[in-house]
Structure 1
Amino acid sequence: MFGGGGMNPRKMQQMMKQMGIDVTEIDAEEVVIRTADEELVFDGAQVTRMDAQGQETYQIVGSPETRALGSGEESADAEGAGDVDGDDGSADSGGIPDDDVELVATRAGVSEADAREALEAVDGDLAAAISRLE
């Protein structure tokens, strides 16, 4: 689980438990880290979750495969699948999220079409789009 510098792993777990750190192994099949321009895909990685005073930390051990964004069938299937807040970028045009369009339309008191135009004109900057419409 950990490389405790030669320390017995059982003793290490006992010490961590005394400090209030809960360690759990996660049986993950695949881990994907998506950055602005690429994906790091870990197949069969070892994943450990540590919960220390309510703060969860994940440790991934393995060798990633690097893929460009949008390449491979899994990135197309997974697009939007991991989004919790519903902001999946499923905008009609320009890649402006529908949530952003709705927010600008509500704040500025304009139609969603006008809000989308303003957001596209300012490259998605919410504050700039609102001030442009007011």
Structure 2
Amino acid sequence: MRKMLPGNINPRQMKTMMKKLGMQVEQIEDVQSIVIKTPKGNWVFDEAEVTVMTMQGSTSYQVTGTPHFEEAAVEIPAEDIAMVAEQAQVPPEKAKEALVATRGDIAEAIVKLSSP
């Protein structure tokens, strides 16, 4: 007797088996992009395939694709710019540039601007 491997089951049989198990699977069509936001930045999936699976009242989403990471823009408070400008004795624009380059690290920005 020959065993059937999962790869040998036709899609209709698979769908019938899944329905008997209480599983529903569907594809979300025409997905343009998926973005997963984190404090450090965003994972962006362009042209992703998304499969929705519902089983026993629980829904899961499977995302397939190749993501790229986009670092979060650093938000520099005006007080930090003023403090660095004052301490390093530079214009606010230079202080902001240094803070952006050091990802908001005030001490590092001051040292960077104070170094010859």
What TM-score, normalized by structure 1, do the two folds share? 0.46
Q: Whose strand fraction is larger, Structure 1's or Structure 2's?
A: 2
Moved over 3 A (4+): none
Match of 2:62 among 52, 59, 63: 59
Task: Quote how far apart the aligned CAs of 1:9 are.
Answer: 2.6
Which range moves more in the overlay, 42-51 or 29-38? Answer: 29-38
**1:45 paired residue number:** 48
User: Who wins on radius of gyration, i.e. which is larger?
Assistant: 2
**1:110 paired residue number:** none
Cα distance in 1 between the residues matched to 2:6 and 2:66: 22
**1:23 paired residue number:** 25
- Structure ranking higher on relative contact order (CA contacts 8 Å, 6+ apart): 2
Q: Verify: 1:36 aligned to 2:48, yes or no.
A: no
Give the direction of change, closer, same or farther, for the CA distance of 1:10–1:70 in structure 2 (3 Å limit): farther
User: What does the per-residue CA deviation read over 1:34-75, in whole Å, with 9 as the maximum and x for residues that have no partner?
Assistant: 12312111111100000112111000111011111239xxxx
Cα distance in 1 between the residues matched to 2:40 and 2:6: 36
Question: Could you list the runs of 5+ residues in structure 2 that have no partner in the other structure?
Answer: 75-116
**2:112 paired residue number:** none
What TM-score, normalized by structure 2, do the two folds share? 0.52
Cα distance in 2 between the residues matched to 1:38 and 1:10: 41
Count residues with an aligned counterpart. Answer: 68
Cα distance in 2 between the residues matched to 1:20 and 1:37: 39
What is the alpha-carbon root mean square deviation over aligned residues?
2.0
Question: Could you list the runs of 5+ residues in structure 1 that have no partner in the other structure?
Answer: 72-134
